[in-house]
Amino acid sequence: MATTTLPRYALRRQLSLPSRTRVAHIPSHISQQQRRRVSAYGYEQAKALTFRDYGEPSDVLSLHSHSISPAHSNLLTLRFLASPINPADINQIQGLYPSKPTFTTSLGTPYPLAVAGNEAVAQVLSTGSAVSALSKGDWVIMNRPSLGTWRTHAQLPESAVLKIDNHEHLSPIQVGTVSVNPCTAYRLLRDFVPLTPGDWFIQNGANSGVGRAAIQLARAWGYRSINVVRARPDDPAATDALRADLTSLGADIVVTDAELQARDFRDRVAEWTHAGREPLKLALNCVGGKPALALAKQLAPHGCMVTYGAMGRKPLEVPASLLIFRDIRFAGFWVSEWAARHPGEKKKTVEHVLNLMREGGFRDAPVERVEWGWETKGEELVRRVEGTLEGFRSGKGVFVFGEE
């Protein structure tokens, strides 16, 4: 491994040692081992994808190195294991997300920086003396958004994280992606319309992380699903493969957006639901715009459409007739706000999904692993963040961090 010898003033700055620390007290072997992540003083070397201003990820994100002082009081030093690149993370970097990150100089810069990323699993490396319920080696997920998860290490208060019990049979990617998409799907199916086994729902964006989770939870609970996906442009084989993939997860019906817009689609719904004797009560909207309206029109009177995503970036326009004559209810859901109001329920929801994973009843969504080792260049990490909001992707990007 290559080593770097720094002048002692630079070394003291890099280790974030107080200026009064006598350089003579810094053992010489630290300067010989800058690539090591822990100094003899317990300072953890860390790297983070950060931004100073809102903007496009390729314009504003950069990799920043810093050091983390030993954990004290209620603080934990964490090593991240896996962190997804979710659409909301991009919206947050663009400044378009309601949950704002903290811009701070605590990473040793003269100007405030924010760390990107909202969801992750991390391992506890060390704990302050007032930490009561966590110890070295535990796995934790974030208790709230905007803590900054695209980083190798962090120091956070104990209250910011949720312990994951019995993680032995779970992968970092499973745990690191459980709290947003599967939890959202879970609450969408549970909290808006009382569904019982045999009941139907319809959703667009059915191949999204949320959509795939909804299909699998529905299968576990006996609900039946009509799933809308976008046809793969000029590639019928890929569209068929997507249908087969979702069917293998437990989807009852998979149709394309063109089929949904066709005149006879209501007749097909009537056929599937036995002329409405099994009414379509719930629609889950990931997309917005015309595809969402087409979804709402399939609902039985008094049905409910819940919007949780806006991937099509078009507003939803609703004709008055759907409200007046059919009494269709339009609702929205945001998992961050829900989790803040129901912390106990969030823990139970996460545990329930993780149990399904342990039992083999919940397949991972397709991911593109982005290996983040100590030597990985910032440009490479930023390149992998780009394109997250574009369609027809083979899988969600997930940062997977290297060994301790």
Size of the site for ligand NAP (CB under 6 A): 26
Here the tokens at position 27 are 């053992």
**Rounded to an integer, what distance in angstroms lies between the CA atom of residue 169 and that of residue 299?**
40
**Rounded to an integer, what distance in angstroms lies between the CA atom of residue 284 and that of residue 166?**
32
Site for ligand NAP in 175-194 (CB under 6 A): 180-181, 184
Nearest to 240 by CA among 226, 225, 252, 256: 256
| Distance of closest approach, residue 284 Cβ to ligand NAP, in angstroms | 10
Q: Judged by CB under 6 A, which stretch of 84-92, 146-154, 264-272, 319-327 contacts ligand NAP?
A: 84-92
Q: Judged by CB under 6 A, which stretch of 36-44, 202-210, 216-224, 317-325 contacts ligand NAP?
A: 202-210
| Distance of closest approach, residue 5 Cβ to ligand NAP, in angstroms | 44
Contact between 146 and 118 (Cβ < 8 Å):
yes
**Rounded to an integer, what distance in angstroms lies between the CA atom of residue 215 and that of residue 352?**
16
Give the phi and the psi of residue 245 in degrees, each rounded to 5.
Answer: -60, -50
Site for ligand NAP in 141-180 (CB under 6 A): 180
Binding residue (CB under 6 A) for ligand NAP from 30, 44, 87, 154 = 87
Site for ligand NAP in 213-232 (CB under 6 A): 229-230
Residues in Cβ contact with 366 at an 8 Å cutoff, skipping those fewer than 6 apart: 394, 395, 396
Nearest to 169 by CA among 362, 392, 354, 342: 354
- Kindly give the pairing relationship between strand 367-372 and strand 396-401: parallel
Angstrom distances, CA of residue 177 to CA of 39, 218, 329, 351: 31, 19, 30, 13
**Rounded to an integer, what distance in angstroms lies between the CA atom of residue 315 and that of residue 174?**
33
Give the phi and the psi of residue 151 in degrees, each rounded to 5.
Answer: -160, 155
Residue with smaller CB distance to ligand NAP, 7 or 395: 395
Residues in the chain: 404
**Rounded to an integer, what distance in angstroms lies between the CA atom of residue 87 and that of residue 64?**
22
Q: Is 101 in the site for ligand NAP (CB under 6 A)?
A: no
Binding residue (CB under 6 A) for ligand NAP from 164, 218, 286, 295 = 286
Q: Is 97 a residue of the active site?
A: yes
Binding residue (CB under 6 A) for ligand NAP from 310, 318, 331, 340 = 310
Residue with smaller CB distance to ligand NAP, 82 or 131: 82
Contact between 282 and 294 (Cβ < 8 Å):
no
Binding residue (CB under 6 A) for ligand NAP from 101, 117, 172, 209 = 209
First-to-final CA distance of the chain: 15
Q: Is 207 in the site for ligand NAP (CB under 6 A)?
A: yes
Binding residue (CB under 6 A) for ligand NAP from 76, 88, 120, 154 = 88
Residue with smaller CB distance to ligand NAP, 191 or 278: 191
Q: Judged by CB under 6 A, which stretch of 5-13, 201-209, 351-359, 372-380 contacts ligand NAP?
A: 201-209
307 SS3 class: strand
Contact between 133 and 161 (Cβ < 8 Å):
no
| Distance of closest approach, residue 385 Cβ to ligand NAP, in angstroms | 12
Binding residue (CB under 6 A) for ligand NAP from 139, 186, 308, 401 = 308
Q: Is 63 in the site for ligand NAP (CB under 6 A)?
A: no
Task: Single out the catalytic residue among 41, 43, 54, 97.
Answer: 97
Residue with smaller CB distance to ligand NAP, 294 or 311: 311
Instruction: State CA 144 to chain mean position distance.
Output: 12
Q: Judged by CB under 6 A, which stretch of 58-66, 113-121, 333-341, 344-352 contacts ligand NAP?
A: 333-341
Q: Is 86 in the site for ligand NAP (CB under 6 A)?
A: yes
Active-site positions read 97
The contact set with ligand NAP (CB under 6 A) reads 86-88, 180-181, 184, 205, 207-210, 229-230, 286-287, 308-312, 333-335, 391-392, 396
